[in-house]
Amino acid sequence: MSRPSARVSGSDRPLIEQFVIWIADVVRGDFGESFFFKKPVAELIAGRLQPTLALAICTLILAVLMAVPLGVLAAVRRGSLADQIVRVIGLIGYSVPIYWLGLLSLVFFYAQLKWVAFPGRLDIVHEYSFTPITGFYLIDAIIQRDWGASDFVLPSAGPAEVEARVRLLTQRPVVADPDAAIRVDELVVDPVSYQVRLRGRPLDLTFKEFELLRFLAARPGRVSTRAQLLQEVWGYDFFGGTRTVDVHVARLRRKLGAPYRDRIVTVRRVGYKYVP
């Protein structure tokens, strides 16, 4: 290491001083920078913490589900063949290295039996199309309702079943793109750029005003109750009353101006609807 690099990294200082500086940095959450990735070590650890936790939690659940019944079986039938089999399984688990046991499991359950998918956290087909939210992909898939597949077939499925599944998939109705612009007469609501144009003129709307107009314009002629608008626009965690909806509708009408303000129609004791 050159002298300038040594001065920057602090390796030219006494070992005790280096150790004290390192401990102080660790306390502050600074683990230094990786020479290989050229990124802060704390950032690299944070990026791998979630998959590590997910793997540990799944492993713990599987271990409990397998160990408890096997332990009860061995205790109830002590000295029997079942007890001996459980002992052998436990001995293998303790004596065989984890990495070697993992490789054997992949060869047996993936390569031979084809019971599990290819090793890896996420299939390479969906690696760049999947948007992580929490970092736990199973939870993210539930939140986004996106499992990365429209259907599945078992390896034992015959050509007739595969053909029938493909035919059913091609006959499914096409779902509207949620990012597509909403056009109602001269009103255009763009959910991508969060812009609203009326006769080509942009409207200056707040976020909630935009979401409210977007929800109403996407359902022209359909009545939405105040409770439904609160749930869809403000969310479940909003504790305000339905008066909030009335206030935002009044602001929307003022910004739309005549004669478009009358497009948002009040349905007494029910809610609102957008009439083209």
Write the pLDDT tens digit of every residue in 167-204.
Answer: 776 665 555 555 578 888 888 998 888 889 888 888 88
From 14-23, 63-72, 103-112, the region with the lowest mean pLDDT? 103-112
What is residue 131's predicted lDDT score, i.e. its pLDDT?
56
Structure tokens at 228: 């439904």
Q: Where in the chain is the domain with CATH 1.10.10.10?
A: 182-274
Question: Whose structure tokens read 């305000």?
Answer: 240
Write the pLDDT tens digit of every residue in 111-158.
Answer: 777 676 555 555 444 444 455 566 566 666 666 555 556 666 676 777
Helix (H, G, I), strand (E, B) or coil at 192: coil
Say whether the peptide bond before residue 119 is cis (omega within 30 degrees of 0).
no
From 6-20, 64-78, 242-256, the region with the lowest mean pLDDT? 6-20
Q: Which one-letter amino acid corresponds to residue 57?
A: I
- What's the Cα-to-Cα distance from 72 to each of 18, 84, 88, 95, 158, rounded to whole Å? 53, 13, 15, 22, 41
CATH number of 182-274: 1.10.10.10
0.75 exceeded by the pTM? Answer: no
DSSP code of residue 183: E
Q: At what angle do helices 41-76 and 81-95 cross, to 10 degrees?
A: 160
Write the pLDDT tens digit of every residue in 32-53.
Answer: 787 766 778 888 787 777 778 8
Q: In whole angstroms, give the CA distance from residue 9 to residue 35.
A: 11
Structure tokens at 246: 């009335």
